[in-house]
Structure 1
Amino acid sequence: MNVTLQRITKKEPEIFNSQWLIWVFWYQPEAEILKKIKETSKDKLPICFYLYPSPELSEKETEEIIESEINLIKIPHPLEENLETGVRLITEKICYWLAK
C-alpha cells in the first residue's frame, strides 16, 4: 500500500511518502516466513495480520517472532468477538503508524 501524508506548514506543505507491505494470514506466521518478509521489505513497513495463534509454534520460534521487528498483529475473530472490534484495532494501528 502506498501512503502519502501531507502536513500543512506556514512555508510549504510537507509531503511524506512511504510503502506498507501488508500480509494477512489465517494462522500466526512462523519465524521463517517472517524472516523472508523482513528480507523483502527493505525500506517498507512490514505488517502482518493474523486471526489465530499457530498451534505448531515452539517456544524458540515464538521468541524469534517477537524479535522479528515486523508489525505482527492478531486481529479479533469477527464472529467470536465483534467485527467492529477488529476494525477499531486496525484503525488505531494505522493512525499510530501515520503519526510516526
Structure 2
Amino acid sequence: MVIEIKADGIWFHGSNIVLSELREGSTITQWKELAEAFSHQPTILSYDDNGNISHNGKEKGYLYIIDEPVEIGKDIYQHPRTTMDENAEFLINRPLKVKLIEEL
C-alpha cells in the first residue's frame, strides 16, 4: 500500500493513557486510523491493500495530534524495524507536545 506523507500534514499518536507530551522514541503517523488502532494496545494488527485495519486491541484508547511543528528527518525518522509499509510509522527524536482530540 502506498502511504503519502505531507510535510505540513497532521501527525497522530494513539495511546491507552492520558498524555501531554510524548517521550523520545515514541511512534507517530499521519494515518489517523492506524493511530486509533494502536491506541487500543493490540498484540496483533494487520491491514489490507485498501487500508482496512484489523486488530485484537480491547483497551480504551486516546487519539492525539502532535501540537507543535514537526520536521521530517530532524524531529522524526522512519521506524527502522517496522513490518508495515514505508511511511506508515515514524519514531520521534525529541519529546513532542500532544493534544487529545478523541477518546475511543
TM-score, structure 1 normalization: 0.24
The structure where helix makes up a greater share of residues is 1
Larger radius of gyration: 1
TM-score, structure 2 normalization: 0.23
